[in-house]
Amino acid sequence: MKKHGILNSHICKVLSDLGHTDYIVVADAGLPVPEGVTKIDLALKVGVPSFQDVVDVIAADMVIEKVTLAEEIKQENEQALQYITRTFAGEKLENPQVTSLHLNLEQAAVIEFCSHEQFKELTRHAKAVIRTGEAKPYANCILQAGVYF
């Protein structure tokens, strides 16, 4: 039995199989999962587990070079946008006015935006969609794998 890190065997398998530029999606409870894409459903009830809890655990175990968000998050979910920016922006932040004392520079990644419709289209090529219990709008992100060397 694993002692540390992610205990969910499905998530461990997906992360272990990722290659450079492959990606996964961490989704709120309402994001549709395309036919043929693996769905790992963690949702227990509204809000549990949260988007932030799931992203935190995955980010601790995955090399992430790019995060993609729906453009609509800027108007509809400032809290999730600030969390993603604080967690991933570091030195590669496209908007240098956004700063935080909580940046994890080891995890710095490019943050890109697209329309929600484009976002849903991109999910068709994900290795997996991890569904959370999050019930706030646009609490979804695409995490693209980088390399550790």
Q: Which helix (H) or strand (E) holds 15?
A: helix 9-17
Please confirm, yes or no, whether 20 is among the known catalytic residues.
yes
Give me the DSSP letters along 73-90. HHHH-HHHHHHHHHHH-G
A 10 A CB-CB count for 115 gives: 11
Q: Where are the alpha helices (DSSP H) in the chain?
A: 9-17, 51-59, 73-76, 78-88, 116-122
Among 20, 102, 116, 125, which one carries the catalytic annotation?
20
Radius of gyration of the chain (CA): 14
A 10 A CB-CB count for 120 gives: 17
Q: What SS3 class is residue 68? A: strand
Name the residues annotated as catalytic: 20
